[in-house]
Amino acid sequence: MSTAAINAAVHWLNYLVAIPMIVLGIIGTILTIIVFTGKPSFLRNLTIIYLLAGAVITAIHLPCNCLQSVLIDGFGLGL
């Protein structure tokens, strides 16, 4: 395959796979935070606190790192 064909494939994969996965990941993270902070008894459970910590880190990581790499690698846009 030529370089142009590979670049076109990466471009379309970013449209079809990467961007929806990032959006769904952000929605899932927000829902996780809402569900696990909604009931005060959840906050006494150490497992829930670990899940919340993971959700907060994911909420920071997805928009910053993953979206940036999709824009740079897939669309050639530097931030």
User: Which helix H or strand E contains 48, and what residues bound it?
Assistant: helix 46-61
**63 closest CA partner among 35, 31, 21:** 21
- Length of the chain, in residues: 79
Q: Which of 29, 31, 49 is nearest to 41 (CA)?
A: 49
User: What's the rounded Cα separation, in Å, for the pair 37 and 57?
Assistant: 16
For the record, the structure tokens of 10 come out as 């990466």
- Can you tell me the distance from the alpha carbon of 49 to that of 47, in angstroms, rounded to the nearest whole number? 5
The mean pLDDT values, 10 residues at a time, for the chain of 79 residues are 82 80 92 92 92 94 82 72
pTM higher than 0.85: no
The domain limits of the chain are 3-75
